[in-house]
Structure 1
Amino acid sequence: MPAPLLITADQVNCLIHAYFLDSGFQHSAFAIRMEGRLDQSPHIKKHIPRGELIELLSKALLYSEVEAHWKGDELSTNCSAPFSLLDTHACSLQPLSSTNDVREPSTSKANGDTAGKRKATTPSEDARAEKRARKEQDEKDAQMNVDGVPAQKPKPKDVKSDAPQTLPEPPAKKLKHKPSAVGARHGAVRFLQAHKTEVFVVAWNPATKGQLVSGSRDAVVNYWAVPSGSNNDPTFPIQPTLTLSDLTKDSQADLTALNWNHDGSLVAIGSYDSILRICTTNGETYFKDSHHKGPIFAAKFSPSGQWIATASLDSTSCVWDVKQKRIHRQYRNHGVACCLDVEWLDDSTFASCGADTIIRIVSLTATGPLHTLEGHAGEINSIKCNPSRTRLASCADDGTARIWNIENMHSEKALPASVILTGHQQCLTSIEWCPAAGPGEHELVATASFDATARLWDTVTGDCIKVFADHTKHVYAITFSPDGRHLVTGGGDGSLIVYEVKSKEKKWSWYTGEKSGIFEIDWQSWGNSSLIALALERQMVAIVDPGKVPALQSS
């Protein structure tokens, strides 16, 4: 007798709770946690892989597809009608019935209506990268003493907008590159294994060669000393030099941001538990504050390290005085919409973006925003300033990126219209500036998208120079090499792909394994050596030594 199938309401509730957390629906996750009494569940502390609920539904519906197409003693495989989650499957193998066509009921029909069977789409990836958390403004938040423009109700989105915000995930396609590290010398790729949950963030110390910090879903921060060059013995396992495992007791404390100051003496840590922490290179707590009332999505030092700016789900951004160890000011510049990212434009001016589709430019000495940048038709997920701090790039859920001229941001005169970068078919997850441009050449930016592509753009003309379509799932992470010669992408398909910027050609790729999405990439150089760190879904950090990849040396 086969083993019984056991499905309990408690198990289902835990799966739904994990799905809500993965999708950024914090209030929904909290509600089911309380109403389902999940804190008393024996399953709540079990590791549930990202997308597990959707994957289980997919497998069940694939069985339903087989059930619908089983004819006699064989499976019909030439049905051209699609399956979907919400639409009834109209099988193309079944001819339309007529008044003269009398049929005996089929076995499958007697056991259930197979016409209603549905096949799941490709399992959706974690929405952490797109930061799509939603909330209602509670009374406590509304009473916070903050600066900025008056809170306004979000404007309804233009129904005529052609912004591609609701497009489905692109259909699965075969890998265009072999999933391996072919072409790399022994020891080119190493794993750092100490985390017990998915690793979301990594950051190299810009001043101390080989010092890396990594943060995971369970609020654990690991410090690493990673050897390179002749000191890198691939047979010798690398262990953390320090582990911060008692940062919080909050069950929802995913680490969302790691950012070093310019001299590598302090690292800022952002978390879903709403607390900003600043730690030293030895792991000591320099400062922490719980002024935010919602998850912190971004935490960034100003160029001099005097200030830190944060962005939060509580609809505010905060600026902190690092030396004085206190908050300088809290801003509500996006009404009741959550603030998704911040970026320093100079040492006393920063920009913030949010779910209200606008960007605010704020001076620490002004009483209100200097400028409001409007044009996006969807939530703005990321903003980045170019190396000369004269242009600001933004990317959003509307499938576009924009380049804003901020040279005269301290003038009362309105800033020029943005350059619009259009071509992606789904929301954009990240945008990065190429750190180097030749004499007379236009600056370049690269974008990553849920449409499984990355693109390279001319920021002056707005032209798409190249579409990189080698990934098979969402592209989460994108960055340039410090010298600007290479562009590297990482996605939900577990593939790391390195392109040469000049030739626009793929130079090298590496496959991390199944169910091992790449959430973040940091490529740092110290003198003549450099290392790439990858935050992996498979509960570890990967280190790639470009010096041991010949294809990256010959270009």
Structure 2
Amino acid sequence: MTTITSVELNYLVFRYLQESGFTHSAFALGYEACINKCTIDGNVVPPGALITFVQKGLQYLEMEANLSNVDGDADVDEDFSFVQPLDLITKDVHELRQMIKEKKKNLQKERDKDKELIQELEGERGRVREKERLEREKEHERDREKIERDKEPEKQQEDQVDREIITDQEDKDTVKHEENESFGGPEPMEIATPSTSQTCEIPSSDVTVLAGHTSEVCACAWSPTGSLLASGSGDSTARIWTIADGTSRSGAQNGPSNVLVLKHVKGRTNEKSKDVTTLDWNGEGTLLATGSYDGQARIWTTTGELRSTLNKHKGPIFSLKWNKKGDYLLTGSCDKTAIVWDVKAEEWKQQFEFHTGPTLDVDWRNNVSFATSSTDNMIYVCKVGETRPIKTFAGHQGEVNCVKWDPTGSLLASCSDDVTAKIWSMKQDKYVHDLREHAKEIYTIRWSPTGPGTNNPNQQLVLASASFDSTVKLWDVELGKLLYSLNGHRDPVYSVAFSPNGEYLVSGSLDKSMHIWSLKEGKIAKTFTGNGGIFEVCWNKEGDKIAACFANNTVCVLDFRM
């Protein structure tokens, strides 16, 4: 074991006193310890050497106290937080271990108490809600009976009047609608769900249900080049489904011939730490990256072979994206950092530690620079090789859930729990537009594949935002004005996606339904209702199939043709 001599220690203390401005003390120590006669080369000793030395010693003691802890799956980071520097200096390793054990036990007790309290509150809330519901139903029933009794003698006459009023009202509505269409002013259009008779429900013959996952499916993505669909689930697997071209066949499609199961844990499934939280295909469609609750990113081939496991994050990965070139993978984690990985070398290239809260989303601007957002309300634009952010966007007053660059990489859109979406430019620090029409948290945003630099250059560039207020809103990006409010859902909208030609928008909600909106006609063109809340929707590259992943463990593929 390496030891330090008294001469070396004296020199470190001498340098510390000198660097800290304690000139007289340094002179006295130097004279008494004969520093001028020691053989140490002062040029090779870096500034702050004593502090570094002490810190390293403390870290070593922390590790010694933790790494030999008996708990196999001890969270070392959490254990460190129980230990103060003074403890490390005054207590031996055995005492430190005991102290950590005690504090962990107390913490666990508190957590258990909190859990019980939450369960109790939930139960109480449920009972209160049920009681209120029953009371309301009884009241309605009493009212209905009273009305029936009062109106029985003149029922026929009332019916006749009602019919006339309804017909008259319908005529008025038709006239009003036509007037609006003819003289549409600058006011944003409110688009509500048409009645069921008008809505075009997608027939079951156009739906393929992919069964096999054993827990909720939270992510899905089409390969950019082929007929492969990837899905990620809470059952600790991702799956690659081969979807036949042409029309679907109704019923479950889950035979072994068309699905590859990518296991993130050996043996036991549904292990919560292995939830697959996010996934993304590279531009060539040859590799699939998955991010998991265990903090690892994994890269798979289209044949289901695990190519790489990328391990450095200390918490769940919430977002992950390939750059266009396909040489870097970017991950954002609950550990407050983002990491750029060199895919070929299978190692991390650079870790970016700017946020003070979990990183919620990441998005590449080009092959070397990207944006990150966090629960700390901040957005940073970073560049590989740079040690500081190249741009900082401050302005949100709540967690920033999503960031997306427009197709040319010149504007960045963001959305937040503060109920706003914002548009930013690299040319200025303050936001360009502050979009404030939603009533609740905005969960996600998407740019249309239209305007300059896209395959649809003659169409207007718009931004879609999906919110917990059950609406999707479309924005004119140039003016920062609301174009449409799409009001077809009854519960939070978690996901939206534009069709490749920019003419349609699909939205998926916790109300179990997905609506396909025609942006030309400003109405719902098709709709589908499944058996669970929808977490993500996506179009294939041809624009003739839509995938949706559900809370009831299934993925549905819908044939879309107008």
Same fold, TM-score > 0.5, yes or no: yes
Give the aligned partner of residue 525 of structure 2. Answer: 507
Residues 498-507 or 350-359, more deviating: 498-507
1:421 aligned to which of 420, 423, 435: 435
Alpha-carbon deviation of 1:454? Answer: 0.6
What's the CA shift string for 1:345-386, capped at 9, x where partnerless? 010101111111111111112221101011111110001111
Alpha-carbon deviation of 1:403? Answer: 1.1
Alpha-carbon deviation of 1:294? Answer: 0.7
Give the aligned partner of residue 447 of structure 1. Answer: 465
Alpha-carbon deviation of 1:59? Answer: 4.6
1:468 matched to 2:468? The reply is no
TM-score (normalizing by structure 1): 0.66
Quickly say closer, same or farther: Cα 1:376–1:534, change in 2 above 3 A. Answer: same
Contact 2:446–2:496 (CA under 8 A) maintained in structure 1: yes
Quickly say closer, same or farther: Cα 1:181–1:218, change in 2 above 3 A. Answer: farther
Give the aligned partner of residue 524 of structure 1. Answer: 540
* Structure-2 separation of matches of 1:441 and 1:77: 51
Alpha-carbon deviation of 1:35? Answer: 4.8
Q: Select the structure with the greater relative contact order (CA < 8 A; seq sep ≥ 6).
A: 1
1:46-85 counterparts in 2 under 5 A? 59-65=126-132, 75-77=138-140
Contact 1:206–1:262 (CA under 8 A) maintained in structure 2: yes
Give the aligned partner of residue 273 of structure 2. Answer: 252
Give the aligned partner of residue 94 of structure 2. Answer: none
Secondary structure of the corresponding residue to residue 131 of structure 2: helix
Secondary structure of the corresponding residue to residue 60 of structure 1: helix
* Structure-2 separation of matches of 1:188 and 1:181: 16
Give the aligned partner of residue 237 of structure 1. Answer: 253
Q: Which amino acid aligns with 2:370?
A: F
Alpha-carbon deviation of 1:75? Answer: 3.9
* Structure-2 separation of matches of 1:194 and 1:345: 36
What's the CA shift string for 1:257-314, capped at 9, x where partnerless? 1100000111110111111111111111111122001110001001111101111111
Give the aligned partner of residue 161 of structure 1. Answer: none
Give the aligned partner of residue 261 of structure 1. Answer: 282
Alpha-carbon deviation of 1:462? Answer: 0.9
* Structure-1 separation of matches of 2:119 and 2:254: 30
* Structure-1 separation of matches of 2:130 and 2:524: 38
Q: Which runs of 5+ in 1 are unaligned?
A: 1-29, 39-50, 80-173, 409-413, 548-552
Contact 1:180–1:509 (CA under 8 A) maintained in structure 2: no
Contact 1:179–1:509 (CA under 8 A) maintained in structure 2: no
Contact 1:451–1:473 (CA under 8 A) maintained in structure 2: yes
Q: Which amino acid aligns with 1:214?
A: S
- Give aligned pairs, total: 397
TM-score (normalizing by structure 2): 0.65
Quickly say closer, same or farther: Cα 1:299–1:179, change in 2 above 3 A. Answer: farther
Q: Which runs of 5+ in 2 are unaligned?
A: 1-103, 113-117, 143-191
Residues 387-396 or 240-249, more deviating: 240-249
1:320 aligned to which of 334, 338, 341: 341
Secondary structure of the corresponding residue to residue 218 of structure 1: coil
1:359 matched to 2:376? The reply is no
Contact 1:521–1:532 (CA under 8 A) maintained in structure 2: yes
Give the aligned partner of residue 293 of structure 2. Answer: 272
Return the index of the structure with the highest Cα Rg. 2
Secondary structure of the corresponding residue to residue 64 of structure 1: helix
Quickly say closer, same or farther: Cα 1:63–1:544, change in 2 above 3 A. Answer: closer
Alpha-carbon deviation of 1:443? Answer: 1.6
Give the aligned partner of residue 501 of structure 2. Answer: 483
Alpha-carbon deviation of 1:417? Answer: 3.6
Alpha-carbon deviation of 1:424? Answer: 0.4
1:26-175 counterparts in 2 under 5 A? 35=109, 59-65=126-132, 75-77=138-140
Q: Percent of counterpart pairs with the same letter?
A: 31
* Structure-2 separation of matches of 1:504 and 1:342: 31
Alpha-carbon deviation of 1:448? Answer: 0.2
* Structure-2 separation of matches of 1:34 and 1:196: 29
1:291 aligned to which of 284, 307, 312: 312
* Structure-2 separation of matches of 1:334 and 1:472: 35
Alpha-carbon deviation of 1:203? Answer: 1.0
Contact 2:441–2:467 (CA under 8 A) maintained in structure 1: yes
Contact 2:420–2:436 (CA under 8 A) maintained in structure 1: yes
* Structure-2 separation of matches of 1:376 and 1:219: 34
CA RMSD of aligned residues (A): 3.2
Alpha-carbon deviation of 1:436? Answer: 1.5
Alpha-carbon deviation of 1:213? Answer: 1.2
Q: Which amino acid aligns with 1:428?
A: I
